[in-house]
Homo-oligomer: A and B are copies of this chain.
Amino acid sequence: MLRDELKSLLDADDSDSAEARVVRVLSERGAVSANEIARATGLARSTISQALAELRGARVIVETPAAEIGRGVGRPAASFALNPRAGTCIGLHLSLDDIRLVAADVSHSVIFEKTVPLGRDYAPAAAVEAARHSLRAACREAGIAWAGVIGVGLSFSGPVAPDGRVQRASIIPTWAGVNLREVFEPALEKPIFADNESNCSAIAEMTWGAAAGVEDFVLFKIDIGVGGAIVSGGRVLSGVAGAGGEFGHMTLDPHGDLCRCGNRGCLELTASLNPAIAAASRFAGREVGVDEFVERAAQGDAGFRRLLADTAEVAGRGLGMIGAILNPGLILIGGRAALAGEALLAPLIASYERHTLIKREEAPPAQRVRIEIAKYPTNHALLGAVALVLRRHGRLSAPVGVAEALP
């Protein structure tokens, strides 16, 4: 009953009912005060009080003790959250050689996390079977009834079209052209939400991270590839084919080297960590890994720091163009390069300033871009997959019949 009510409130297509709007704010943000609900919905305080009372009566929401630390003196404001028992969200990240699973309740608490190794170039059927089997076992262990799962979020490394088709499978080529909905929905019998890894990362930063409460920002990832996501008006800009935010494939040099995407001179050929790693390995006379490279650059190794700065210079040029196009107020830097912190950030910001239109000194403080390291620079795609369900983002189709137990 409780679950059905929550599901119908989350899925209500419009904002007509105050209850549905309050539930969506709680689903997106976790525990929030009545004041925050008023700011987010624009509803009158009296309307919100009434909706909260009705939702508490129906046990869809619970009152939670307010976090007092850092909130100053005075009576702490009551916070409200969705009743953890009202539903569970599953997140699933399809990674290079394993799949990662996480379950969280609708109040944003993680219940379990699990990794299932599958080996390189695993087939879709193998991933679906592993997901089904592992979820069944993990839910049983954690005491989660499958009927209480309100949706499954999938994070994929490559653009996912609105109908669920994988456009380009950047690290798992066996998935190119596969329709994620068609393979996962019949096996899991739950609404499937899906988006590419970078969009999931941006959603995790919005939900739990450095972009909480921010409606417009850019996530820019530097790792062995370059990617990112754009959030505009609180909504991930997915693009007509699911390929928004593919920053790594801006043509920097139309006569440059061939890229795996089939174009020439893409940004990620020079702005990813690959050229720096190759140069570091040549210099060291042995293979240097990404983690070692980033760590030594962060710790002040002069040569590695120079190589990282060169990466930051090219990346900042691409980012400066993104700045001219979007004029964002916040840019979060993710990917393993971000673990170098200031060693990456300082040359990146200098290069951004050199190449973008609106310079810092021109704009008053409130109109300047902030460029910062993301809260979860390397591991947020899995959290983001959960947040897809919480935010009802990237829903691939109407659910098929809901079974009471995992088949």
Contact = CB atoms under 8 A, between A and B. Distances in A.
A244 B367 CA distance: 12
B250 A321 contact: yes
A152 interface: no
Interface stretch (A59-67, A342-350, A357-365): A357-365
Given A247-B325, A251-B317, A325-B325, A167 B16 contact: no
Given A161-B364, A241-B363, 17 more contacts: A15-B15, A16-B43, A16-B44, A16-B47, A159-B358, A167-B363, A230-B326, A232-B237, A240-B327, A240-B367, A241-B367, A243-B357, A245-B325, A246-B327, A249-B357, A261-B357, A325-B326
A321 B250 CA distance: 5
A304 to B, nearest CB: 24
A104 B371 CA distance: 43
A369 interface: yes
A28 interface: no
Contact of A250 (B16, B233, B325, B358): B325
Interface string A155-170: 0000101100001100
A247 B327 CA distance: 11
A167 to B, nearest CB: 7
Contacts of A251: 317, 320-321, 324, 355
A352 B272 CA distance: 24
A328 interface: yes
A141 interface: no
A382 B238 CA distance: 31
Interface in A32-51: 41-44, 47
A267 to B, nearest CB: 9
A242 interface: yes
A259 to B, nearest CB: 10
A103 to B, nearest CB: 31
Max chain B Cβ within 10 angstroms of own Cβ: one of A317, A354, A362: A362
A254 interface: yes
Given A246-B357, A355-B263, A326 B14 contact: no
A322 interface: yes
A325 B246 contact: yes
A197 to B, nearest CB: 16
A238 B159 CA distance: 26
A310 interface: no
Nearest to A369: B240
Nearest to A162: B367
Nearest to A261: B357
A241 to B, nearest CB: 4
Nearest to A355: B251
Contacts of A326: 230, 237, 239, 244, 325
Contacts of A327: 159, 238-244, 246
Contacts of A238: 327
Contacts of A230: 325-326
Interface string A251-291: 10010000001110000000000000000000000000000
Contacts of A162: 367
Contact of A216 (B167, B216, B240, B263): B240
25 contacts: A13-B42, A14-B43, A159-B358, A161-B364, A161-B367, A162-B367, A168-B357, A239-B326, A239-B328, A242-B327, A243-B357, A244-B327, A245-B325, A247-B325, A249-B324, A250-B325, A251-B320, A251-B324, A251-B355, A254-B354, A261-B357, A262-B359, A263-B355, A321-B321, A322-B325
